[in-house]
Amino acid sequence: MRWHILGAGAIGCLYAERLTRAGIAVTLLLRDDVQLDRLKQLGGQLRIQRHNAWHTAQVDAEMIAASGTIQHLLVTTKAYDSLDAIHAISPRLTPDAQILLLQNGYGHQQKSAAALSPRPVWAGITTSGARRAAPFEVIQSGEGQTLIGRLNPPAAASASYPAGWERLDHPVQISTDITRALWQKLAINAAINPLTALHGCRNGELLKADYREELTALCSEIERVATACSQPLFDTPLLEQVQRVANTTAQNRSSMLEDLRAGRRTEIEQITGFLCSAAREVGVDTPLNTRLLNAVRFEQSLNTREGPA
């Protein structure tokens, strides 16, 4: 068995190491010769720091446009790259290929599943913390867990794991309502990521009194959107869930903050942008989310023009 991974960032490399630890062969699908040469210089080894110790994983790599079929595909690209990535790789997918989408945001998963039909497609969310220290070098800040569920066919059609994933020693659970899980992750990300990106703070700093009023109002607005969209979130208030996540990931920097600081495109459109768009469709005002969306867009445009510091 072999899993190909599209997206060799922090999450892609983290799961590559987890799969190889389970005895599953991994091939990274890379964008250009620079990435391929870099990995060759490293002897085809990824490095993952876990519990203050470095671990290595031996992987293969090839260009996206290489020949050969793909039977198992994990997609960990940024959400905004999702559809283009799917279209680029689809000629190589076998008719019964298994695909797992492990990305932030909402909406692109369903579009990808439609493009990949009738192949079995899973979507997933993870609470694992990871950041890239260097190309193919990742620092894991938390084990977390991963929740996956079928998108295509629907979850009720099958509660099985993608091939080999039951062998991972990382906690992987099957969800029969992955849509709700995706909305839950979206809501938490929409509360934490833009605020940490704009304030330049770690997740735990949102628990300070300085941010309490803004965070409370933002969570309330997100809940109103979800309710109007007939998407139940949690059995307890969103604010409590956000505070719990901010506490357990207190030392983490959100991916949006990391991207903004590095002068990279953020996933603001697939997170807050999606929420604002969904709110307009159901007639809900989102002044706070709209302000955050426009503020991140503005900062992103400045950083992109100026380049990373």
> In whole angstroms, how far apart are CA 202 and each of 4, 151, 267, 304?
33, 33, 18, 22
Q: Are 194 and 272 in contact (CB under 8 A)?
A: yes
| Edge-first strand listing for the sheet containing 172-174 | 60-63, 25-30, 2-6, 70-75, 93-102, 121-126, 146-152, 172-174
209-228 and 178-199 are packed helices; what angle lies between their axes, rounded to 10 degrees? 150
Cβ-in-10-Å burial (0-12, 13-18, 19+) of 296 comes to: buried
What would the two tokens of residue 128 be? 């694992």
Whose tokens are 């922090």? That residue is 10
Q: What is the amino acid identity at position 22?
A: A
Give Cβ neighbours of residue 190 (< 8 Å, ≥ 6 apart).
Answer: 218, 222, 271, 272, 275, 289
- DSSP secondary structure letter of residue 161: P
Residue ranges of alpha helices (H) inside 117-177 are none
* DSSP state string for 34-69: HHHHHHHHTTTEEEEEETTEEEEEE-EEEETT-SS-
First to last CA, the chain: 42
* Catalytic center residues: 185
CA distance readout (Å), 193 to 67, 119, 157, 215: 38, 33, 34, 11
